[in-house]
Structure 1
Amino acid sequence: MFLTQTTYATGANPESVAVVDVNSDNKPDIIVANLGSNTVGVLLNNGNGTFLNQTTYATSANPYSVAVVDVNSDNKPDIIVANRGSSTVGVLLNNGNGIFLTQTAYATGSYPLSVAVVDVNSDNKPDIIVANEGSSTVGVLLRC
């Protein structure tokens, strides 16, 4: 049913992936949380089932999971990452061609493991929901 896998190099200890078109070419790209190298990687799609080598972006300590959603209403998907080792959620804004700006970090409970993005308060702005393993909590970061 499937061909043998093709592998692509990532940073150390990839933990989570998301697949979204980040450079507006109508081809799904791969975004990966590289826990051991404190980066997120972006592998752009060539359009023929292959991907370019990853471009990495620095995160806080131990990025564990990623979500990719437009958080600043510019119609460009941004990267949201749960940084387990620093108890933060990072937001990397997309400049529009698949290149991302430096992470802005927001405090969470301890050891955030998972993130989701949805408008929870009906203000038409995406909010971040994070599962905090170390504090046994779920946190909500409302967009202002």
Structure 2
Amino acid sequence: MFKRLCSEELWIFSLHASSFLTIGDINGDNNEDIIILDSQGTHLKIFLNFANGQLTEEKKFSTGYTTVKISTGDMNHDKKVDVITTDFWTHAIIILYNTGDETFYHRVISTNLYGANVRAISDINNDKIPDVIMTNYSPGEIG
């Protein structure tokens, strides 16, 4: 599942039945953790990084929805990495707020963007508030 390739600086991580992957420091220890969305889009699988090449066993969390694509960012300025995704059926943005004890709570924001997918989180307009960059199936639209 997680093994060293060629040198101490190059690693490979693979997991069966997963669809999307991102990284973020979920537990605040200054080590990037691995966050995977399962192939059905219904669960996050989180592997905490010990920074010595070892990962914890997966911690599984329900997204509560059928989600597609995931990204991370501190959406509520609490210095904790949150997970952002979209629901395939309702086209809503789902923010999974990190509570700091390796659990999350949901906030759902409705959109009317058919097939909306979160692509990135960044402060595009420099207002100190994270912006959610999305694409969708409608031609010429970016959310």
TM-score by length of 2: 0.78
- Paired residues for 1:1-144 under 5 Å: 2=5, 5=12, 7-8=14-15, 13-97=17-101, 99-108=102-111, 109-133=113-137, 135-136=138-139, 137-139=141-143
Q: SS in structure 1 opposite 2:40? A: helix
Deviations 1:26-59 (A, max 9, x none): 2221011224151222111133322222222222
Whether the 8 Å contact between 1:8 and 1:53 is mirrored in structure 2 is no
**Structure 1: distance between partners of 2:39 and 2:67:** 5
**Structure 2: distance between partners of 1:119 and 1:26:** 21
Q: SS in structure 2 opposite 1:102? A: strand
Paired AA for residue 93 in structure 1:
Y
Deviations 1:73-125 (A, max 9, x none): 1111111112223312110111224x232221112311223332122333211
Number of residue equivalences: 134
Q: SS in structure 2 opposite 1:138? A: coil
**Structure 2: distance between partners of 1:132 and 1:115:** 10
Any gaps of 5 or more consecutive residues in structure 1? 140-144
TM-score by length of 1: 0.77
Q: SS in structure 2 opposite 1:75? A: coil
Whether the 8 Å contact between 2:48 and 2:55 is mirrored in structure 1 is yes
Any gaps of 5 or more consecutive residues in structure 2? none
Cα 1:69/1:37, change in 2 over 3 Å: closer
User: Which stretches of structure 1, 4 residues or longer, exceed 4 Å deviation after superposition?
Assistant: 3-9
More helix by share: 1
**Structure 2: distance between partners of 1:84 and 1:94:** 22
Q: How much is the aligned-residue C-alpha RMSD, in angstroms?
A: 2.4
CA deviation after TM superposition for structure 1 residue 126, in Å? 0.9
